[in-house]
Amino acid sequence: MLIELLFYAVFLSQIFLVSIYYPKKTIDRNRYILNTYPAAEYPKLYLNSYYVDPVKLIKKGLRRYAVMNGIIALFGLGILAAMALNGYLPSHIKENENLIFVLFFFMLQMVPHMLTELSTWRWYKLIREAYVGKTRTADLKPRHLFDFISPAFVALAVFLYVGWLVFYIYEHRETTPWVWNQYVSIITVTAINLLFAFTIFRFLRGQKIDPYQASQDRQKHIGAVVKTHVYGSIGMSLFLIIMDLVNVYQLDRFEPVFLGAFLQLMAVVSLGTMLRSLNIKDINFDVYKADVAPEATPSP
């Protein structure tokens, strides 16, 4: 009974956090920008040269984002209701080989957020193409990784990845020869960590996503990205170690609960860290005014 209650609590929390709370924070953030920094006074923010009515486009995107998250939230609640009405026990999810569904639902929840990120990336791509600033200078002070995060967290991320790898190989030492999914596990986790490292490097050394962005705001953005990826690596390694221990000590019945809790942690690390680090009221929007010359864009 305890496992069932824990699962329902974790799943409900996941629905609220990923499909209701963070979407509301994102929508409120964008509405605040629309109301406080209108296109008439801040034209560079809305890229009028590409869209006839950019404000209308943004509002339409926010409505679509809200509807998608609402449908997914209702879908999740419907699943829980169906499980309760049919007497399906969450403690049997792993036993019935339905654990992949927990991961699938989280991936479904992340779809609206990923689509929003892709739209934002395209938006700033168009801004860069329309950018009229000609002056390009290099930063006097190069950006270094440890300007944005403590070396202790980076060392912890590396230590936990190596620790998981050693533990995983040790636990499967008697499996000869290895099956394909064991190789895939190592390759996938390693590839994700390399992707994290590459993304951080690109933000440290690459060009501005937004050419009008104030230098101080860019520093905050880079810091948020660095922390998100380093913390994500730490969380992923901890989760994998916990899952291996679950299998060693035959606690499979708790695995759906652990997985759900981990997925929420990743949502807090990714969505939560970005929202907390980039406080909308601290951003310098004066750079988007028509009569303000853009800052010199640091060269890569």
Q: What is the pLDDT of residue 92?
A: 74
Residue in the block written with tokens 């920008």: 33
Q: How confident is the model over 73-103, as pLDDT tens digits?
A: 999 999 999 988 888 877 777 665 667 788 8
Both tokens assigned to 280: 């909308």
Q: Answer yes or no: are the C-beta atoms of 229 and 196 closer than 8 Å.
A: yes
Contacts 24+ apart (CB under 8 A), 34-42: 34/58, 34/59, 36/285, 37/285, 37/288, 41/289, 41/290, 42/285, 42/288, 42/289, 42/290
The larger pLDDT score, comparing residue 117 to residue 136, is at: 117
pLDDT of 293 above 70 = no
Q: What is the pLDDT of residue 96?
A: 59
Query: How many Cβ atoms sit within 10 Å of the Cβ of residue 1?
Result: 7
Both tokens assigned to 169: 């190989």
Give the highest mean pLDDT range of 112-126, 150-164, 250-264: 150-164
Q: What is the pLDDT of residue 97?
A: 63
Residue range 226-252: average pLDDT?
A: 86
> Which residue range is the domain that position 192 belongs to?
2-298
Q: What DSSP state is assigned to residue 283?
A: S
The larger pLDDT score, comparing residue 123 to residue 206, is at: 123
Q: How confident is the model over 122-148, as pLDDT tens digits?
A: 888 888 777 765 555 445 566 789 999
Q: How many domains does the chain have?
A: 1
d(C-alpha 114, C-alpha 175), whole Å: 38
List all residues 6 or more positions away from 258 whose beta carbon is below 8 Å from its beta carbon: 239, 242, 243, 246
